[in-house]
Amino acid sequence: MKLKFFSSCIYLNGQKYKIFTNKPFSILDIIKFYNYQNQIIIIEHNKQIYNNLNKNSIQINNLDNLEIITIVGGG
C-alpha cells in the first residue's frame, strides 16, 4: 500500500512552518490544529481579509501567508 503525503511551507503570523499531511489542508484545519476559537478570529490569507466565511473551503498552498488575529475582551 502506497501512502501519499503533502508538504507545504507556510507563513503563519510571521513565522515559517513546514507542514506534512496525508491530505490537502484548509484554513479550518490550521485553526483546529492551533486551537483557535473559530467565532472570535479574523483571518488574513495572502493579503485578503476574511472574518465570516466557510474556512473549510479555502485550501492552503505552498508559501501562503496567514495572519490569524484573535479578539480579546476585557475591562
The DSSP-derived string for 3-52 is ---EEEEEEETTEEEEEEESS--BHHHHHHHTT--GGGEEEEETTEEESS
Task: Tell me the C-alpha distance between 46 and 56, whole Å.
Answer: 16
Q: Class for domain 6-70, per CATH?
A: alpha beta
User: How much is the pLDDT for 21?
Assistant: 87
- pLDDT tens-digit profile, the chain (75 residues): 777 888 899 999 999 999 988 888 888 888 888 888 777 888 899 999 876 666 557 889 999 999 998 877 776
Taking the domains of the chain in order of start, what are their residue ranges? 6-70
Instruction: Please report, in angstroms and rounded to a whole number, the separation of the first and last CA atoms in the chain.
Output: 57
Task: Tell me the C-alpha distance between 26 and 31, whole Å.
Answer: 9
At which residue does the C-alpha cell 502506497 appear?
2
User: How much is the pLDDT for 53?
Assistant: 60
